[in-house]
């Protein structure tokens, strides 16, 4: 089970450091004790006959990590909520999750009023302890008890400061869900991706096989718990017996000092974070001698950025990771070599080969394998593959297919909609998307979702959203929305979008047009709109 990677280490090394957060170091034993107390409270709070899922609404604190482990210890799946996104999006995730319990910390309790007011039937609320074993107090400026009692599920529950009388004992199986992550959905709402313990176990075990073990390793976590690399940071770290370091801020300008102060050994981030550090001249020679492993993923990784990073971290391995959320964090890897970097023709790092236990296959439109070197759609199979989306009515479920291919073990595959080819010495090479999904700073964005929101906010006759600007490596910096005959002004549309979309998915600009350009097939000509973006930048 996923949480066993933590609790097994806690049993054998209870005094070893497990978590540094909020300027304090916590041992495995301390975190395990907190998690067990939370698990006991959740077991008592779960309504009979309800789905074993629990929402986690907490900032990155000791309470959040103990809460996450407590949820898993109970045998429930955790559904993390991001406090930094609009209330409407948080409410949409709560509603879709079907979770009857919401574990909330003191800081996030202040946001409950607005979130729960958007729900017809809210979950039962369990208050987390932010500091220690004492009871939880209401957040300043909000009456949490009043808010919780307004929830139709009924009731505010405070965790007992006393540890459970007996160890929480729940029968669990590998196919049970460990967590549910929500990604951008093409239908205008986020879609849930349920990951089982078997999926997560296969990933963590594969990472230990790939990277080896390093006693007393120090991992850093920059991302939120709603982003799947967080699973790598936490559980690969704890499986290693390492300590997870959580900075107060995720602003890249402070990364350099944090790495040096804490002698971080393992780094994982999207390339944009390192690019930002390079832009502000934070990648000086031998800046990070402590780093031993660097993982990049989520967007194209440029050769020049890798060269700059290796000058700053000369003792580190650098690996480019690839994988949709549906395949549990990552399914492919390319380890950068000096020989590969020496060739200037390699402008962007390839996706490489399959992680241990996983399979990659490139097929044509008829789902027939292509010849080596030919382009096609990348299929992904293996034990990390999710069973499907949370909603059985999600149109994206068509991407999960059951097909046997000669020479391959997998019977189920995920159609990634990524165009790719196989190249000698590189493995799989990414060649763009076959649909309109993009990545912005590693976050998946379905352009259709943004278009749904812009359309609803503007009451426009037509709407189209394009990625802009896009750098030489193919990384999108933001979005521009084009609308025709909108009833609202551009500032009003943007303000409404900010109330419904994560900040990275809010268009940077709304452009009013009399008509959208069409191609010969009568469809919106996105290439022509991208050329409009060039003209807009030139005028600006």
Q: DSSP class of residue 233? A: I
DSSP-assigned beta bridge partners for residue 361: 379
Alpha-carbon distance of 510 to 278, in angstroms, equals: 30
Cα separations (Å) of 314 from 31, 307, 410? Answer: 34, 10, 38
Alpha-carbon distance of 377 to 523, in angstroms, equals: 23
Six-digit token pair at 39? 């698990």
Q: What angle do CA 135, 139, 141 make, to 5 degrees?
A: 150
SS (H, E, C) 238-273: HHCCCEEEECCCCCHHHHHHHHHHHCCCEEEECHHH
Provide the b/e sequence for 332-345 (b: ≥16 CB within 10 Å).
bbbebeeebbeeee
252 contacts: CB under 8 Å, gap ≥ 6 = 273, 276, 277, 280, 282
What is the residue-level pLDDT of the chain in tens, covering all 540 positions? Answer: 999 999 999 999 999 999 999 999 999 999 999 999 999 888 888 877 667 899 999 989 999 999 999 999 999 999 999 998 999 999 999 999 999 999 999 888 888 889 999 988 888 899 886 434 333 333 333 334 334 444 434 455 666 555 554 455 566 788 999 999 998 876 667 899 999 999 999 999 999 999 998 888 999 999 899 999 999 999 999 999 999 999 988 787 888 999 999 999 999 998 888 988 988 899 999 999 999 999 999 888 989 999 999 999 999 999 999 999 999 999 999 999 999 999 888 888 999 999 999 999 999 999 999 999 999 999 999 999 999 999 988 888 999 999 999 999 999 999 999 999 999 889 999 988 887 788 888 788 888 889 888 988 898 877 889 988 888 777 888 999 999 888 899 999 999 999 989 999 999 999 998 888 877 666 678 888 888 887 776 555
Nearest to 194 by CA among 101, 77, 112, 294: 77
- Helix (H) or strand (E) segment spanning residue 109: helix 106-109
Provide the 3-class DSSP secondary structure of residue 314.
coil
**Domains along the sequence of the chain with CATH:** 4-11+23-172 (3.40.50.980), 437-539 (3.30.300.30)
Peptide bond into 469 cis (omega under 30): yes
> What does the pLDDT read at residue 521?
61
* Strand segments (E) across 138-207: 156-158, 177-183, 191-196
Alpha-carbon distance of 84 to 107, in angstroms, equals: 12
Whole-number CA gyration radius for the chain: 23
Nearest to 41 by CA among 6, 3, 67: 67
Task: Put residue 417 in one of left, alpha, beta given phi > 0 → left and psi -120 to 50 → alpha.
Answer: left
Six-digit token pair at 184? 């951008």
Nearest to 221 by CA among 335, 105, 61: 61
Alpha-carbon distance of 438 to 447, in angstroms, equals: 7
Cα separations (Å) of 251 from 226, 256, 272, 276, 277? Answer: 17, 11, 12, 10, 10
Alpha-carbon distance of 44 to 101, in angstroms, equals: 11
> What does the pLDDT read at residue 461?
76
Alpha helices in 285-367 (DSSP H): 303-312, 338-342
Alpha-carbon distance of 309 to 341, in angstroms, equals: 12
């Amino acid at each position: 089970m996923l949480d066993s990677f933590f609790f097994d280490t806690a049993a054998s090394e209870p005094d070893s450091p497990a978590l540094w957060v909020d300027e304090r170091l916590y041992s495995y034993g301390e975190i395990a004790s907190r998690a067990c107390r939370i698990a006991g409270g959740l077991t008592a709070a779960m309504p009979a006959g309800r789905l074993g899922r629990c929402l986690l609404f907490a900032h990155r604190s000791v309470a959040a990590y103990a809460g996450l482990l407590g949820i898993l210890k109970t045998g429930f799946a955790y559904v993390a909520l991001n406090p930094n996104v609009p209330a409407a999006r948080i409410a949409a995730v709560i509603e879709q999750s079907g979770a009857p319990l919401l574990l909330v910390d003191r800081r996030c309790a202040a946001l409950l009023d607005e979130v729960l007011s958007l729900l017809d039937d809210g979950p039962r609320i369990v208050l987390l302890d932010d500091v220690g074993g004492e009871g939880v107090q209401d957040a300043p400026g909000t009456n949490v008890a009043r808010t919780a009692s307004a929830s139709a599920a009924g009731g505010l529950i405070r965790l007992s400061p006393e540890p459970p009388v007996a160890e929480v004992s729940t029968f669990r199986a590998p196919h049970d869900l460990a967590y549910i992550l929500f990604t951008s959905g093409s239908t205008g709402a986020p879609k849930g991706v349920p990951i089982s313990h078997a999926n997560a176990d296969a990933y963590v075990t594969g990472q230990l096989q790939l990277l080896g073990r390093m006693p007393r390793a120090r991992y850093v976590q920059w991302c939120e718990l709603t982003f799947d690399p967080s699973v790598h940071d936490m559980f690969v770290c704890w499986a290693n017996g390492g300590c997870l370091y959580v900075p107060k801020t995720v602003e890249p300008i402070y990364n350099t000092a944090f790495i040096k102060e804490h002698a971080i050994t393992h780094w994982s981030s999207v390339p944009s974070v390192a690019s930002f550090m390079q832009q502000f001249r934070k990648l000086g020679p031998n800046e990070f001698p402590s780093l031993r492993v660097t993982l990049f993923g989520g967007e194209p990784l440029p050769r020049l950025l890798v060269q700059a990073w290796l000058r700053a971290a000369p003792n580190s391995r650098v690996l480019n990771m690839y994988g949709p959320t549906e395949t549990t964090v990552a399914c492919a890897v390319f380890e950068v070599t000096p020989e590969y970097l020496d060739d200037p023709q390699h402008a962007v790092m390839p996706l490489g080969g399959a992680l241990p236990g996983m399979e990659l296959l490139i097929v044509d439109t008829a789902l027939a394998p292509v010849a080596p070197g030919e382009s096609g759609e990348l299929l992904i199979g293996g034990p990390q593959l999710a069973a499907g989306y949370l909603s059985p009515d999600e149109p994206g479920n068509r991407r999960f297919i059951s097909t046997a291919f000669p020479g391959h073990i997998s019977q189920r595959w995920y159609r990634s909609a990524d165009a790719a080819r196989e190249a000698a010495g590189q493995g799989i090479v990414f060649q763009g998307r076959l649909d309109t999904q993009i990545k912005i700073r590693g976050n998946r964005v379905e352009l259709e979702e943004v278009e749904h929101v812009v359309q609803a906010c503007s009451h426009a006759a037509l709407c189209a959203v394009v990625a802009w600007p896009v750098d030489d490596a193919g990384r999108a910096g933001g979005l521009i929305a084009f609308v025709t005959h909108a009833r609202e002004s551009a500032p009003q549309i943007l303000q409404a979008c900010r109330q419904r979309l994560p900040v990275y998915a809010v268009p940077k600009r709304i452009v009013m047009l009399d008509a959208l350009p069409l191609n010969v097939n009568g469809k919106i000509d996105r290439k022509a709109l991208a050329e409009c973006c060039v003209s807009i930048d030139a005028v600006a």
